[in-house]
Amino acid sequence: MAEKNRKKGGCFRAGCLTLVVGVLLFAGIGVLAHQWGNRLPGRFVLRVPVSGAIDERSPDAASLPFGGTRQTLSLEELLTILDRAKTDKRVDSVLLQIDGLNAPAAKVQELGNSIADLRKSGKKVTALLNTPGDKEYRLAAACDSIIVQKGSWMLLDGLKAELFFFAEPLEKLGVSFQAAQWKKYKSAVESFTRSSASPENLEETNALLDDAWADYLDSVSRQRRVSREAFRSVVDSLAVLTPEKALSLRLVDRVATERELDKEYEERLGKPADELFVEGREYLDATGGMRPQSIGDRIAVVAITGMIVSDGSAEMGDGEATDVATLKQALQTALDDTKVKAIVLRIDSPGGDALAASTMLELLEEAKTKKPIVASMSGVAASGGYMVALAGSKIYAEPMTVTGSIGVFSLKPDFGGLLEKSGIRREVLTRGRFADAYTPFKPFDDASFRKFVETAGTIYDDFIAKVAKGRRMTPAEVDAVAGGRVWSGKRALEVGLIDRIGGLDAAVQEAKKLARMDAKAKPELLYLPVRKTWLEYLLAGDASQLTSALAAGIVRQSLGELQPLANLPGTRTARFLLRTEAPQVLALDPVEVEIK
């Protein structure tokens, strides 16, 4: 038989067998080396870096387990690490190295709550800061003690929101936009149609800024035991502080170099630094990664992150996106798994394609007839991101989650002026009055524009009806808090758009209750869609997918230098709209500003 197979060729040929054995041997050696390197000491300090934007999830095959730069820890991973450390007797204490933090306020709040839970377990949590700003200090205040590195400085200058408008410079290039804005608070179009913010845009942006400012002052004054007025005076009068000045004001607990801190740990625990610290990702890998470890009942956490799209065609580098097929597969996995007793829908999305969001809601409503669903909002769950949350029997959000934005808009570019300036001539032959109406090379006429606006209005009415059904409100009651208005989680609770204030853990507890699981048991979480590791791609024979995943990671890192430009308000909307010729009706968060 073997001889016949050799004659036929295929994988029984000696060369192919050698290759397969070689790949498996290489993989096996890599796994053993990785696992050996991840053996944890009997007692150690858990050192966790917290930096960057803190994505909700880490990307597929973010990096190889050896060599190279590792991806920064995601919010999923950080919450898991801190949760496991609570009951791990090997963890002596936790050192958070907070640097270059650029996360939404709601994610900082959720991390702060997780730190508070860790402290309640008896573990001491120390924050080490290097030239911190307001966001780093806001998170550090949740720890037992704050150490600022000697020789650095602190920039506590308050918060701001920046709005950018491109209509005038674009007009000089011969580019303009027409908008169907339904309704006036749906202000994402303003970056392309106005030279300054509308009163409605300023109203909702100021409301978000007020909430973030109040949260900052209240949390720091409460956790550092200084008066609110005293801390506000520091921000308004000093702004830039030396660590020593901050120490004299009781804003921090110590000033030290990193080496001085290492020596203190060494003396206390009787170990050299290289045997004393375990890094956050190393700890996560050594304790089972993000996969469930037991065979007991579990709760599926199904993530909808980034832009909501219909077909997964978001270009590489545009950031995270969730398409209909991905959600459908994740839900099917959760429904087919008999150990999964409930689903937590975890949303970190500003919305996107209105039809895709509507389709996702339909899939979720169908899944809810089989297993309970609770919605948990992360940094943002607005517009289409809010629409999908309606599937939850209960909706949870952090006080500073950006949500609501119940409305739609469509934006049509007109490059006709650019063609004229460049001398390009366009001739079009049509059959049918509106055949050329949606071209990006001329503006709408009156009849075409009316149809354009009517389409947005029809989808808005459908959105209102979905919210009325999901929240048990009348359409008039929904419209009173809709119209594109954006709410913080705190205000959304007051107007009835969410049910509870709380993070992922609170939503899991609610899901456990709805599924009538053992109240004393702690169910493991199955995160979906499943993120594959490089080894899983390799063993499954998905070499091309592995290559694509790793290439995407390289592109993400390479584009890091361009992030300040890529994240200008309005650029997200522009990239999304310009992927196709025809105008799209979007359920997308209009307040695309960074509060910092």
Q: What is the pLDDT of residues 19-51, one digit of tens each?
A: 444 555 555 555 444 444 458 999 999 999 999
Higher pLDDT, 456 or 129: 129
The lowest-confidence range among 11-20, 143-152, 324-333, 412-421 is: 11-20
Report which of residues 455 and 390 the model is more confident about: 390
Rounded Cα gap, residues 4 and 1, in angstroms: 5
Based on the domain organization, do 482 and 543 belong to the same domain? yes
Does 573 lie in the same domain as 474? yes
pLDDT digits (tens, 9 = 90+) for 535-553: 555 555 555 555 555 555 5
Residue 509 lies in a domain: yes
pLDDT at 9 over 70: no
Which of 224, 251, 286 is a domain's end point?
A: 286
Inter-CA distances, 312 with 353, 491, 575, Å: 11, 33, 14
Q: 542 versus 274: which is more confidently predicted?
A: 274
Greater pLDDT, 576 or 469: 469
The 10 Å CB-count burial string (b at 16+, else e) for 530-568 is ebbbbbebbeeeeeeebeebbebbeebeeeeeeeeeeee
Name the band, by pLDDT with cuts 50, 70 and 90, for residue 585: low
Which CATH number characterizes residue 364's domain?
Answer: 3.90.226.10
456, 580: one domain: yes
Q: How far apart are CA 582 and CA 235, in angstroms?
A: 48
Instruction: Choose, from 107, 183, 186, 466, the residue flagged as catalytic.
Output: 186
In a domain, 99, yes or no: yes
The 3-state secondary structure of 370-409, one letter per residue: CCCEEEEEEEEEECHHHHHHCCCCCEEECCCCEEECCCEE
Residue 435 lies in a domain: no
Q: Which two tokens stand for residue 169?
A: 């410079």
Looking at the structure, tell me whether residues 266 and 333 fall in a common domain: no
Within 8 A by CB and 6+ apart from 518, the residues are: 297
Residues 456, 570 share a domain: yes
* pLDDT tens digits along 49-84: 999 999 999 876 544 444 444 578 999 999 999 999
* Active-site hit among 349, 383, 405, 488: 383
Q: Which two tokens stand for residue 295?
A: 């065979």
Q: Phi, psi at residue 273, to the nearest 5°?
A: -60, -35
286, 306, 341 - which closes a domain? 286
- What the block records as the tokens of 125 is 């949590």
Q: Are 195 and 167 in contact (CB under 8 A)?
A: yes
Q: Average model confidence (pLDDT) for the chain?
A: 86
| Same domain? 577 vs 497 | yes
SS3 585: strand
Task: List, in sequence order, the alpha helices (H) in 177-237.
Answer: 190-193, 199-224, 228-233
pLDDT at 165 over 70: yes
More confident residue, 564 or 492: 492
Is residue 492 pLDDT above 80, yes or no? yes
**Residues 414 and 279 reside in one and the same domain:** no
Q: Are residues 342 and 456 in the same domain?
A: yes
- Predicted confidence (pLDDT) at residue 565 exceeds the cutoff of 90: no
CA distance 505 to 524: 11
Is there a domain that residue 180 lies in?
Answer: no
Quote the pLDDT of residue 86: 97
Query: What is the mean pLDDT of the segment spanning 259-275?
Result: 92
Collect all residues with Cβ–Cβ distance below 8 Å to 527 and sequence separation of at least 6. Answer: 57, 76, 290, 300, 301, 303
Q: Give the rounded percent of residues in the chain with a pLDDT score beyond 70.
A: 80
Check whether residue 248 and residue 271 sit in a common domain: yes
pLDDT digits (tens, 9 = 90+) for 206-263: 999 999 999 999 999 999 999 999 999 999 999 999 999 999 999 999 999 999 999 9
Model-level pTM?
0.86
Q: Is 422 a catalytic residue?
A: no
Helix (H, G, I), strand (E, B) or coil at 425: coil
Report phi then psi at 347, rounded to 5.
Answer: -115, 125
Domain end marker among 258, 286, 314 = 286
Q: What DSSP character marks residue 314? A: P
Q: What is the pLDDT of residue 366?
A: 98
Same-domain check for residues 245 and 363: no
Range of the structural domain that residue 405 is part of = 298-423+443-588
Q: What type of residue sits at position 264? A: E
Instruction: Say whether both 384 and 492 belong to one domain.
Output: yes
Q: CA 105 to CA 137: how far, in whole Å? A: 12
Whether the pLDDT of residue 11 is over 60: the answer is no
Residue 8's pLDDT is what? 45
> What is the distance between the alpha carbons of residues 160 and 489, in angstroms, rounded to a whole number?
19
596 has catalytic annotation:
no
For the chain, the domain total comes to: 2
CA 289 to chain centre: 19
The pLDDT tens digits of the residues spanning 336-389 come to 999 999 999 999 999 999 999 999 999 999 999 999 999 999 999 999 999 999
Q: Are strands 408-414 and 585-588 parallel, antiparallel or unpaired?
A: antiparallel
Q: What is the DSSP string of 38-86?
A: TPPPSSEEEEEEEEET--SSPPTT-S-SSSSPPPPPPHHHHHHHHHHHH
Q: What is the dihedral of CA 27, 28, 29, 33, to 10 degrees?
A: 100
Q: How many residues belong to the chain?
A: 596
- Claim to verify: residue 124 and residue 45 sit in the same structural domain: yes
Q: Is residue 247 part of a domain?
A: yes
Provide Rg for the chain, Cα atoms. Answer: 26
Examine residue 394 and state whether it is found in any structural domain, yes or no: yes
Of 356, 407, 378, residue with least CA distance to 302: 378
Q: 3-class DSSP state for residue 529?
A: coil
Asked, for residue 89, whether it belongs to a domain, the answer is yes
With a cut of 60, say whether residue 294 has pLDDT above it: yes
Q: What angle do CA 311, 316, 318 make, to 5 degrees?
A: 90
In a domain? residue 33: no
